[in-house]
Structure 1
């Protein structure tokens, strides 16, 4: 096993792109649809609310990881009766990876570990399921299949259906799922450090494409507003200023509640934090890094959600990138057609960076349970086999459910569990560390020669602000999680 110091290989910019690629997957493609049908202003408020509580609970996972290192370090010192506060020992301790299920067992109890493992074993495959559905629907809609068995799909084949309604379309869709699997399954069996170049390139492409989609939509809407009495060159229907105002101020509560589970799906990156923290060299800035990721992604989510909804209004498709399909027709210019194909196909190509990462994170969580139960270290072959199985099973599910919005609403109830457990870990870990500090003060007061139980640098890194880490915020997070649960259940009947 290599020395612990060699495990951390990512600089902060590289780590940012890893977090960014995990967070910004395919979930945001459903934002324009749900924002338009709920009312833009109300929808944006709901999105920002989800973003805030997601960022806070993710920050708690970072802090709880440092606290867990303190607890394990102190427990080891108690058993060995040796104490060390050297910076080298702190660096070694900070490289000890604690998955969220291990934090649950450490601070809450084994019941929480089992509960989280069950929840994450359901939610993550659903995310991968949505990725496979997105890729296959995009490819089958744009590759010119034309035979007695295979046919090119249209967005109408996916709208409102759990799977393509046309049999020839479904055959093409299934073939695309198989092709997608042939790409992502081998990638998933690799180590995440081997993805570095791919993560940086596709992360940059993801950012550029989201911004360009937003700018294109805003420019197109401005052109429509300037030509209210005539049709634009893009053949969209006329829209008046009053109609635009109606889009912003309208409120449909039965559609508004769908915004919460759909947007919460796009903010689930908590399970990635322990592994990426271990790979990051400057761990003391992990909290700032996570917050920066949430700020950037939220700005992009609001930008693309609002701009595309305003541009396409009731013509927006549930997977918004497919709204560009009409521009791929021969009646448009070569530049417009090329850009439209890029928009339609890029999400399915871009999630190639997120899929293997998510597979690795789930494998690490399950192997942490294996290590806990068997008291043995998982082998490399076990990791590869586990990744292969986890990468393959969701693609089988994608064959039977291709509607992205339906998949994301199902994951909302699973986000509730992650938020609740994050709040519980925050509350319990703070209480335990406070008790340890009291013991540390007593020991220090009894003997000036005794080394502290809690080394200084680790103790500082494990602290949280009074604003975002206090009991009031924990209580608010629990209330929000319960509301999210109610909204998710309600969305199933809309």
Structure 2
């Protein structure tokens, strides 16, 4: 570890601040999106079918990537539109179009909603964001509290070993000793994440990089473990799925360094399917449920302005997201395929739980160490995700309350205000998590909001920002009729109002057709725009697809 610190320090000193921002930007985005939701991907692959899941996951990854690029585009338009509003009154300054993202100013989604959609939509977005972040922060706290109290002997009351069953179906553990152990673990978790939450993002560089590397290590261990068994020709003949039956015995685990074969004793479930059957199988209901799993594993759009702000080279943002989503899609695919092929009907909804039996006494030391690392990974993983979601939420709340972004206030009193806001927003979910250890049902429904955050609002912001720039800048350049002025003048024209109103509607119709059928217009094109894919028509199609996904998710929760 000391060698890693020294190497990283030398790299920073050699390459300068630019390299620090590259590392920080990438690991911040990875640490936010790789929370705990992606651990259900192998379960989704097996339950709905591997081939349909591959197609669905790749499709959702592409949509999520496209929506992320649109958020970046909207940020650039927000800066250009803000410059237009605050520029001088000369015709030359009004006609100058320059869309860019400045290193010293960021636009949070709530502020972009206010600029391009309206104040009420800003409030709606803020409410949705606070809701999903509140439950996400609670879920992070319960994951850490339950995992640590099960795997670390903190039960000092009756000294009974706490088990996953104490937390699985209970809102709070019935055993008093496990309940106290759980509270103690949540308290320890709170001490760590509260400290990180009040720190600026740049001050978390080392922590975020280390925890980001830990994510890649854990995912690599999961994938390699499954692939070694698959390519070694080993097959799980009988298995125990703890979701259905908690009692099981491992009858043989040979030395990890020489033999990877595992044999489980279980009478109700056994893996008799061939790899071809697993690959080509399809279950409609499970597939509908898996859509929400894959979508939730891609949610980062609400934090794009905050997490990309430390990156100085803003012209590289599109490349950042290309690399990020390529990395995510590759990891999700490999993890889903390897996990579903190896564990099959043994797979748990959270795949790391499949290693819990192997961490028990009686197994090879190397296997136990690996299993402990994988089982505890989610609870360590959320240490970096928790402060990121808190910082994102506070930035948006700050914009709603004060009407300006945090980067516009440099006085010490505003830093103190942000400090106490972060402390308050972080403390509330931690306080509730002290008394609630199971949030599965609530999270399932709260996760619906993630669809709006991930898909709907990027589409709305893309269309609204393009439409406003299309109208405002074309009017400023004198290239078209101002439809707003036509409608505002109809009340004072007496008998001619129906005719002028008809002319206004006709111009609006032509303008809408011209807007949606245009491949790209210099009136709203940014340096981050993609050919064809950034067009208004493409955004409209993605909005329709997103509506379909939301309907499918609601149906899957109802049936």
Please classify the TM superposition score into its range, dividing by the shorter chain length: 0.7 to 0.9
**183, 192, 207: which one aligns with 1:174:** 183
* Larger CA Rg, structure 1 vs 2: 2
Kept in 1, the 8 Å contact 2:18–2:312? The answer is yes
Q: Structure 1 residues 80, 172: CA separation in 2 closer, same or farther (over 3 Å shift)?
A: farther
- Give 1:319 shift: 2.1
Kept in 1, the 8 Å contact 2:24–2:202? The answer is no
- Give 1:407 shift: 5.3
Kept in 1, the 8 Å contact 2:466–2:536? The answer is no
**Separation in structure 2 between the aligned mates of residue 467 and residue 164 of structure 1, nearest angstrom:** 54
Alignment partner, residue 352 of structure 2? 321
**Separation in structure 2 between the aligned mates of residue 128 and residue 280 of structure 1, nearest angstrom:** 26
Alignment partner, residue 431 of structure 1? 467
Matched, 1:485 2:485: no
- Give 1:9 shift: 8.8
Deviations 1:457-488 (A, max 9, x none): 99874551233212332122212221222233
Q: Structure 1 residues 233, 30: CA separation in 2 closer, same or farther (over 3 Å shift)?
A: same
**176, 179, 198: which one aligns with 2:207:** 198
Q: Structure 1 residues 95, 196: CA separation in 2 closer, same or farther (over 3 Å shift)?
A: same
Task: Tell me how large the CA RMSD over aligned residues is.
Answer: 3.3
Q: Structure 1 residues 47, 155: CA separation in 2 closer, same or farther (over 3 Å shift)?
A: farther
Deviations 1:21-65 (A, max 9, x none): 111111111222233222222233332222221111111110000
- Give 1:395 shift: 2.3
Alignment partner, residue 339 of structure 1? 370
- Give 1:253 shift: 1.8
**Separation in structure 2 between the aligned mates of residue 49 and residue 397 of structure 1, nearest angstrom:** 37
**393, 403, 413: which one aligns with 2:428:** 393
Residues 345-494 of structure 1 mapped to structure 2, 5 A cutoff: 345-372=376-403, 377=409, 379-399=414-434, 402-403=437-438, 406=441, 408-418=443-453, 419-438=455-474, 461-462=526-527, 464-494=529-559
Alignment partner, residue 101 of structure 1? 110
- Give 1:15 shift: 1.1
Kept in 1, the 8 Å contact 2:73–2:528? The answer is yes
- Give 1:181 shift: 1.0
**Separation in structure 2 between the aligned mates of residue 250 and residue 166 of structure 1, nearest angstrom:** 42
Residues 122-133 of structure 1 mapped to structure 2, 5 A cutoff: 122-133=131-142
**Separation in structure 1 between the aligned mates of residue 94 and residue 477 of structure 2, nearest angstrom:** 16
**Separation in structure 2 between the aligned mates of residue 155 and residue 227 of structure 1, nearest angstrom:** 23
**Separation in structure 1 between the aligned mates of residue 529 and residue 404 of structure 2, nearest angstrom:** 32
Q: Structure 1 residues 492, 300: CA separation in 2 closer, same or farther (over 3 Å shift)?
A: same
Kept in 1, the 8 Å contact 2:99–2:526? The answer is no
**Separation in structure 1 between the aligned mates of residue 330 and residue 136 of structure 2, nearest angstrom:** 22
- Give 1:309 shift: 2.5
Kept in 2, the 8 Å contact 1:61–1:426? The answer is yes
Report the TM-score when normalising by structure 2. 0.76
**253, 256, 262: which one aligns with 1:234:** 262
Alignment partner, residue 309 of structure 1? 340
Kept in 2, the 8 Å contact 1:70–1:458? The answer is no
Alignment partner, residue 296 of structure 2? 265
- Give 1:405 shift: 5.3
**Separation in structure 2 between the aligned mates of residue 125 and residue 55 of structure 1, nearest angstrom:** 25
- Give 1:10 shift: 4.9
Kept in 2, the 8 Å contact 1:318–1:404? The answer is no
**280, 292, 313: which one aligns with 1:249:** 280
Residues 268-283 of structure 1 mapped to structure 2, 5 A cutoff: 268-283=299-314
Deviations 1:341-381 (A, max 9, x none): 11111221122122112111110110011221899957112
**11, 20, 25: which one aligns with 2:30:** 20
**Separation in structure 1 between the aligned mates of residue 103 and residue 84 of structure 2, nearest angstrom:** 13
Kept in 1, the 8 Å contact 2:237–2:264? The answer is no
Matched, 1:186 2:195: yes
Q: Structure 1 residues 237, 224: CA separation in 2 closer, same or farther (over 3 Å shift)?
A: farther
Kept in 2, the 8 Å contact 1:188–1:391? The answer is yes
Q: Structure 1 residues 30, 166: CA separation in 2 closer, same or farther (over 3 Å shift)?
A: farther
Alignment partner, residue 68 of structure 2? 58
**Separation in structure 2 between the aligned mates of residue 125 and residue 484 of structure 1, nearest angstrom:** 23
**Separation in structure 2 between the aligned mates of residue 236 and residue 35 of structure 1, nearest angstrom:** 22
State the SS of the aligned residue for 2:383. coil
Q: Structure 1 residues 66, 8: CA separation in 2 closer, same or farther (over 3 Å shift)?
A: farther
Alignment partner, residue 44 of structure 2? 34
Query: Size of the alignment, in residue pairs?
Result: 474
Q: Structure 1 residues 471, 307: CA separation in 2 closer, same or farther (over 3 Å shift)?
A: same
Alignment partner, residue 3 of structure 1? none
